[in-house]
Structure 1
């Protein structure tokens, strides 16, 4: 049987906490008054695999994992709009002895300075370098910069990591 509401309120008062403090601790820092609950019907094997994923990735709950999956889909939707303001990183690994590639990288970064925020260069060994370039702008422009860099002669591997400016996603 649940304790009487007055008894619960008195216990909370003695601890110097509010019900909001307690509920936010119980629900991962979220204000439960703004959370919406809903049910999901799902096959048991999928749920078991999802629970493994929740545990492996260290989520506090299924709810937090589902919120993260939803946010990931929102980011994909942002990137699908060619005009959407996005941010991301382009990571490339290349042979630094390719002199023409160094010129291409420098020229492109100057030509697209409105999309390239900054870059970091790392010497991996005597022959290979890694460059991480932070890019921002309309998704079509950012993808164009990434495609040009990744396709450049001498690039061994490249990848665009798409993320969000955070302006349209709440946590």
Structure 2
């Protein structure tokens, strides 16, 4: 696609800002390394538009649930694992990193209806021992993990 075609797909808007906010915007542009004010404003708007999707409970989206917890809390890791297993259709993958002072950072890659993802997040973050957590959605979907029409693998009996 040529530069001309790209520019034709972009709409120009104008905003008026008080001097104090403009100074803060310029400082943020410099600090974060944005190429321009426009790029910074696009990024901010994108984040706010994604946040508004939290109100659309039936919309399918992908995202991450970030959890920060005390791994010494009795039974917490088992409860977290059980909740993830109960929501196997939405929890695609998880990664946990052990930090200092018996703390853990866990990242869950999730996909599903926004309402269900928020419900899962609420269950996880309210467990005793979880210090903080949040759901961050992205405006895209993960390709299907399982092939359509192909039966799931056989269950393996565990002792």
The TM-score bracket by the shorter chain reads 0.7 to 0.9
Residue 55 of structure 1 and its aligned partner are, at CA, apart by: 1.3
Displaced runs of 4 or more, over 6 A: none
Specify the alignment match of 1:94 in structure 2: 69
1:77 and 2:90 are equivalent in the alignment: no
1:44 and 2:44 are equivalent in the alignment: no
Specify the alignment match of 1:5 in structure 2: none
Q: Distance in 1 between matches of 2:18 and 2:128?
A: 48
1:165 and 2:135 are equivalent in the alignment: no
CA contact (8 A) 1:83 1:138 kept: yes
CA gap 1:36/1:113 in 2 versus in 1, 3 angstroms: same
Specify the alignment match of 2:28 in structure 1: 53
Unaligned runs of 5+ in 2: 142-159
CA contact (8 A) 1:79 1:162 kept: no
After superposition, where does 1:1-171 map in structure 2 within 5 Å?
A: 20=2, 31-125=6-100, 127-155=102-130, 157-166=131-140
CA RMSD of aligned residues (A): 2.2
CA contact (8 A) 2:68 2:133 kept: no
CA gap 1:98/1:83 in 2 versus in 1, 3 angstroms: same
Query: Which deviates more, 35-44 or 133-142?
Result: 35-44
CA gap 1:162/1:129 in 2 versus in 1, 3 angstroms: closer
CA contact (8 A) 1:85 1:137 kept: yes
CA contact (8 A) 1:79 1:86 kept: no
TM-score, normalised relative to structure 2: 0.76
